[in-house]
Structure 1
């Protein structure tokens, strides 16, 4: 094992995968924020329409989970994991 080649190889891997990891984290954080905001908008709109509270909660959570699934898939695709 040649230790003189480890540092350049490690730098190369970090440069290539580091940017992908940072991009995936940003996609996840922003996507989660958008999903939460849309959930709250839908819940407020349904509350104004005097919909049952149980249905409001169900639809809000279903919306959030569905959008979060898409966000996770997008973040994994950014990392190069085929989904």
Structure 2
């Protein structure tokens, strides 16, 4: 997918996916606890199926995850990138 640039990591992956037409991504900035990730994704996708709102679903899942896991290690890594 082009030139390898040290330290580019997730940015390069996001850029490649966006150039291929992906409009929205939920990514994590670091390796997150599996249980917290499962809870976040379940909350996010259940809410998304109900409301069809990416940002609303993301925010709702984040609020719940913050209640369950006060330490930012568990929820601070998740990022929504929306190019719509």
TM range (shorter): 0.3 to 0.5
> Which structure would you say has the larger Rg?
1
The TM-score with structure 2 as length reference comes to 0.38
Richer in strand (by share): 2
